[in-house]
Structure 1
Amino acid sequence: MKMNFNNIIIGVGLIVSLISCDLDKVPLATLSPETYFSNEEELRLYSNKFYEDVFPEADDVYNDRADVIISTPLNTEISGQRTVPATGGGWDWKALRRINYLLQNSHQTDDIAVRNEYDALAKFFRAYFYFEKLKRFGDVPWFNEVLGSDDERLFKPRDSRSLIADSIIQDLDFAIAYLPTAKDVYRVNKWTALALKSRVGLFEGTFRKYHGMADAEKYLNACVIASEELIDNGGYALYTSGSTPYRELFATPNARGQEIILARHYNQGLNLTHSVQNATNASTMGRPGLSKSFVNTYLTTGGLRFTDQPNYNTREFVQEMQNRDPRLAQTIRTPGYTRIGGGAAAPNLSFTVTGYHLIKYTMEQIYDANDASINDMPLFRIAEIYLNFAEAKAELATLTQSDLNKSVNLLRARVGMPALNLEQANTNPDPYLLNENTGFPNVPEKNTQYMGVVLEIRRERGIELVMEGHRYYDIMRWKAGKLFEKPFLGMYFSRLGDFDLDGNGTIDLCLYQGTRPGSSASLFMEVGQDIVLSEGNRGHVVAHGNISRKFDEVEGRDYLYPIPSEEINLSNGILKQNPRW
């Protein structure tokens, strides 16, 4: 994968000087504070590397695999086959060392305003770095300065989760105070810092609430305050142009700064590309597709629950796609789908293990090739902040209809969906989402008053943010890991034979057993060989039915990753392993 950030070419000497493998390596003499960090240009050049080192690559954003996007092979987190690595496993600190080195030496700059701005930028990236560590490992050591190779603090114990979370918030508060307010979809600013604080507050608040930890309300309130400031004062709004605005927000080369607060930049002319379109339009890239259980959560166009309808789970594709939330047809191929710059196209089951063929980010067919996509990849957008705000207030039991109208209902209005009504949601919670066999485990009974709207906001979050890298850690913070044990199903087929999947009168798929029949289908699949159905010669497409998945919740084991064994050995046992790893 070929990538950089912000179209910046950093001098070879600076790149060499930035190379370091471990937290305890000292900088090369070519980057000594006596000769560097003396002006804004040097601070800018040095800090440009943070964008590349800290932010996720495109694969990590769109490759949003958990329970809603199923692909092959399954991630080990989902299949329950994680093991303790000897090294690696996300326990990497070199980016932090670079960040702390700037903070330790920025005093060489005489201009206090410049120094504050770049300290704020560095603290934003330190907060982002540590937030990823917090989500992954829980307690981790907090380092806020560069340590030498003989410093005994290199082998300090893990600091408490509270210290890490509070330190992240403190760094973000400094960043919010001193970062510029000018919008730039490719540069971190005050609004980006508020967006990250919103995300951190929601994650930590709900994680603590659902995992039985103290101070959940403190972090949920931090989310609400940051979200509301960004919503009220940031000047961002949903992109609403065109006939399919949700689809068009993503199916474009350049990030739409009206809605997207920060994006990772890609540009074919600069050889900065990724493979999102190849992943969804090839038979060799994991064949991702939406799960049937997730497709079921899309409401009807009238705002009614699809799963309240009779026989909802055994409707064949053309029938089940009728009169649904328009975001469904702007996320997967449905009857009437037309490729940008091309013609009609039915779902291709050789490209998706579930049959629900993804189109989010899909542009002209020329981008189907490997490493050919040039879409900027959104990292923060105002839609997420709307959802963070609403969810945090619902979990605090302070959500009002007015709050919904300035957040979730803007998302629904963009695609012509009816507004979410707070009273109706709470008096009539969705039994599908509430049922542990079809919906979310561990919905707390103590939240009964707002339980219905919490479920509706989760529905909205899944639909609005699918393929944007949020789902796995949403499941972790909701303590809903048992979702990964449920069967991963796809389209329903009532029989073998020919199928017109887009309803245009031509045969797109032939399912058969034994001898291949004569058919005008464009794709033939032998049941039991090329595809598995849940009831033998009919039923739902089954993905990974041969894998017995187990999510271990004892002592919260699978909600955190293991620390590499070599790191524990090097610390002489001072560094302790996560529970039951």
Structure 2
Amino acid sequence: MKKYKYIYLYVLMALFSGCNDDFLERYPLSELAPENYFQSENELKTYTNSFYNALPVALDIFYNSPYYADDDARTTVHDEIRGVRVVPTTGGGWTWTELRRINFFLENSSKCEDKSVVAKYNGLARFFRAYFYFQKIKRFGDVPWYDTTLSVDDEGLFKARDSRTLVFDKMLEDIDFSIANLEVTKSGQLITKWTALALKSRMCLFEGTFRKYHGLEGWERILDECIKASEELMTKSGYGIHTSSHQSAYQDLFIQEEPLVKEIILARQYSPEIPFVHSVNFYTLSASYGRPGVLRSVINSYLMKDGSRFTDIPNYKTMQFYEETQNRDPRLSQTIRTPGYKRIGETVTSVPDFSTCITGYQYIKFVLEPKFDTGNCTNDMPIFRYAEVLLNYAEAKAEKGTITQSDIDKSIKLLRDRVGMPNLNVAFSNANPDPYLEGEYPNVSKGINKGVILEIRRERRIELIREGFRWDDLLRWKEGKRLERVFYGMYFPGIGTYDLDRDGKIDLEIYSGKKPATVPGRQYQKIGELVLENGEAGGQIITNPTIEKHWTEGKDYFYPIPTQERQLNQNLTQNPGWDDDSNL
């Protein structure tokens, strides 16, 4: 069934992706002229299926810059983190093609006589308009609001940017319409009422906390909308947290060819028959695509299995791989290779591979068995899942200052129950804020909820790692300066041999000078190529030691408006700090 559904949707996407990308051009295809089209439900459905192209693909979710931010390191550092972005001449995310298609549909869908059908597909279109503008305000802040199609001589093409307040209020109108009119059935493939509620929860958490930490007005009202949307989904949708074994339930979510619809609200689906596949195995396990590895600050954030803080252990900074991975939150061993790891489809244990992992902490999240290593992966990529909604709810409540233990019990507790972890205790967290997390997030102000806000941020980072949230989180928390820090990997006390998983066999030799005689099955890393803090005397791995990272407050939270766009429309103002030398 999945095969045929996906072929249908894929063909439709291919049909519509060929449309001209010029924002000012009218649709030239006679078969899409409003007098000949939009007459039936099938025609509305066919047209709106093209909107799904706006959703992220697998590469966006598990790999693309800059979404992983400070969760992992690669051999290269992207421009956003290096602080070397420049004002583009054109492009740069300032594209409006999809919006015009949406508005074109909304202007013509009423030609279908069945008004209930019109309302349903208008709900879908307005979902995607809210989604479109969500990406725009995150990237640029203030942007022009358009809810009609414009001709080449329309003065609206040359309007100034509207305030993000106006734009976000319009987005709320759109998403509320979607919630009221979309179908209530569950679907891992199609947008429903529940997807719309999940989007409202996400965009309101972003906007509410962005306004709070960036000193903008109206954040309380927006966080109330996040709480309201999250609560409705939590109480009425029937979604829940996927549970099975504490040792596998979390990892299971990310290796399925059909989404686990108990928790996955919407996923990007893949199929070998089309073919429509992705390359998560190849990007994770080859030496060709940056050798991604999780940073040590992430590893430090995982709690002990009994709920105590790893970073309260006096010698945590100098713990080696085996010791630091013992008795931890089970999500750690379902996210990276830890001692005893057996790859799906194999019976032998595997240690981290330093030739394909720059930090030593090697991802297993999303990774399938070896037969998929050539770039033919078909596991689905979650776009919205219930766990995120629970995290949004808890964070919005905490930031509003209204969170109670009861709120935690119906949100964070469910995520920890999945893996057999103790619950988060509000009173203890607020009375004893974690000093390590205080150093990680210095912008969290002192107050009665500081401790629990920090703990929710811990939970969010761990639960949603590699799902494309971290960059947005740092932007909305005004924590961009974190990206200037040294990105550390594993700790080693110096040159020598290491049995990483303590199975009695040497797995790694760190050496200086001439390479030792090769022993089969042993990895070799030369000091200088593997950079440790103190050289031969050891320390944490330093990734990208020769690349400087810079973050400019007041500038780098937004992208610049392209030069050509400002030349064409001199009412467009540039974002602060960006000099495009356009002489405008």
Instruction: Please report the TM-score for the alignment, with normalisation by the length of structure 1.
Output: 0.95
The counterpart of 1:185, out of the listed 183, 188, 192, is 188
Q: Which residue of 2 aligns with 1:355?
A: 360
Query: What is the Cα deviation at residue 9 of structure 1?
Result: 5.2
Q: What secondary structure does 1:378 align onto?
A: strand
Distance 1:18 1:177 in 2: 32
Change (3 A) 1:68 1:10: closer
Q: Which residue of 2 aligns with 1:34?
A: 35
Query: What is the Cα deviation at residue 104 of structure 1?
Result: 0.6
Contact 2:559 2:575 in 1 (8 A): yes
Query: What is the Cα deviation at residue 147 of structure 1?
Result: 0.7
Change (3 A) 1:113 1:16: closer
Distance 1:440 1:502 in 2: 32
Residues 440-462 of structure 1: CA deviation (Å, up to 9, x unaligned): 131123xx100000000000000
Contact 1:251 1:363 in 2 (8 A): yes
Query: What is the Cα deviation at residue 72 of structure 1?
Result: 2.7
The counterpart of 2:107, out of the listed 101, 104, 108, is 104
Distance 1:112 1:380 in 2: 29
Q: What secondary structure does 1:82 align onto?
A: coil
Query: What is the Cα deviation at residue 8 of structure 1?
Result: 2.1
Residues 154-208 of structure 1: CA deviation (Å, up to 9, x unaligned): 1111000101111111100000000000111100000000000000110000000
Task: Give me the CA root mean square deviation.
Answer: 1.7
Q: Which residue of 2 aligns with 1:388?
A: 392
Is 1:276 aligned with 2:277? no
Q: What secondary structure does 2:186 align onto?
A: coil
Distance 2:552 2:402 in 1: 33
Q: Which residue of 1 aligns with 2:95?
A: 92
Change (3 A) 1:5 1:355: farther
State how 1:264-413 maps to structure 2 within 5 Å: 264-342=268-346, 343-369=348-374, 371-413=375-417
Q: Which residue of 2 aligns with 1:157?
A: 160
Residues 377-401 of structure 1: CA deviation (Å, up to 9, x unaligned): 1000000000000000000011010
Is 1:541 aligned with 2:541? yes
Q: Which residue of 2 aligns with 1:505?
A: 504
After superposing the two structures, state which structure 1 stretch, 12-21 or 373-382, moved more.
12-21
Q: Which residue of 2 aligns with 1:442?
A: 443
Contact 1:5 1:264 in 2 (8 A): no
Change (3 A) 1:456 1:374: same
Residues 288-345 of structure 1: CA deviation (Å, up to 9, x unaligned): 1110111101010010110010110111111111111110000000001111111211
Q: Which residue of 2 aligns with 1:257?
A: 261
Query: What is the Cα deviation at residue 18 of structure 1?
Result: 5.9
Change (3 A) 1:333 1:457: same
Q: Which residue of 2 aligns with 1:8?
A: 8
Contact 1:8 1:48 in 2 (8 A): no
Is 1:560 aligned with 2:558? yes
Q: Which residue of 2 aligns with 1:146?
A: 149
Distance 1:261 1:293 in 2: 30
Query: What is the Cα deviation at residue 544 of structure 1?
Result: 1.2
Q: Which residue of 1 aligns with 2:240?
A: 237
Change (3 A) 1:452 1:13: closer
Q: What secondary structure does 1:558 align onto?
A: coil
Is 1:247 aligned with 2:254? no
Q: Which residue of 1 aligns with 2:582?
A: none
Distance 2:517 2:506 in 1: 12
Query: What is the Cα deviation at residue 30 of structure 1?
Result: 2.7
Contact 1:71 1:287 in 2 (8 A): yes
Query: What is the Cα deviation at residue 471 of structure 1?
Result: 0.3
Is 1:578 aligned with 2:569? no
Gaps of 5+ in 2: 579-584
Query: What is the Cα deviation at residue 500 of structure 1?
Result: 1.5
Q: What secondary structure does 1:143 align onto?
A: coil
Q: What secondary structure does 1:557 align onto?
A: coil
Q: Which residue of 2 aligns with 1:210?
A: 213
Amino acid in the other structure paired with 1:467: R
Residues 132-160 of structure 1: CA deviation (Å, up to 9, x unaligned): 00101000011111111221211111000
Change (3 A) 1:348 1:505: same
Distance 1:202 1:11 in 2: 35
Amino acid in the other structure paired with 2:272: Q
Gaps of 5+ in 1: none
Residues 265-291 of structure 1: CA deviation (Å, up to 9, x unaligned): 111112111111111111111111110
Q: Which residue of 1 aligns with 2:57?
A: 57
Q: Which residue of 1 aligns with 2:134?
A: 131
Contact 2:127 2:175 in 1 (8 A): yes
Distance 1:467 1:220 in 2: 25
Amino acid in the other structure paired with 1:346: V
Is 1:431 aligned with 2:435? yes
Amino acid in the other structure paired with 1:324: R
Distance 1:266 1:341 in 2: 20
Residues 37-81 of structure 1: CA deviation (Å, up to 9, x unaligned): 0000001111111101x1111111112420012113112111211
Residues 388-419 of structure 1: CA deviation (Å, up to 9, x unaligned): 00000000011010100000011011001110
Contact 2:496 2:509 in 1 (8 A): yes
Instruction: Please report the TM-score for the alignment, with normalisation by the length of structure 2.
Output: 0.95
Query: What is the Cα deviation at residue 545 of structure 1?
Result: 1.5
Residues 231-281 of structure 1: CA deviation (Å, up to 9, x unaligned): 111100111124410011112222111100000111111211111111111
Q: What secondary structure does 1:326 align onto?
A: coil
Distance 1:13 1:234 in 2: 29
Change (3 A) 1:93 1:518: same
Distance 2:183 2:467 in 1: 26
Between the two proteins, the alignment pairs up a number of residues equal to: 568
Q: What secondary structure does 2:273 align onto?
A: helix
Q: Which residue of 1 aligns with 2:450?
A: 451
Distance 1:11 1:518 in 2: 56
Q: What secondary structure does 1:106 align onto?
A: helix
Amino acid in the other structure paired with 1:33: P
Determine what percentage of the aligned residue pairs are the same residue. 49
Distance 1:461 1:361 in 2: 18
Q: What secondary structure does 2:119 align onto?
A: helix
Q: Which residue of 1 aligns with 2:49?
A: 48
Query: What is the Cα deviation at residue 476 of structure 1?
Result: 0.2
Q: What secondary structure does 2:8 align onto?
A: coil
Query: What is the Cα deviation at residue 14 of structure 1?
Result: 9.1
Residues 464-489 of structure 1: CA deviation (Å, up to 9, x unaligned): 00010000000000000010011000
Q: Which residue of 1 aligns with 2:24?
A: 24
Distance 1:350 1:298 in 2: 25
Contact 1:185 1:263 in 2 (8 A): yes
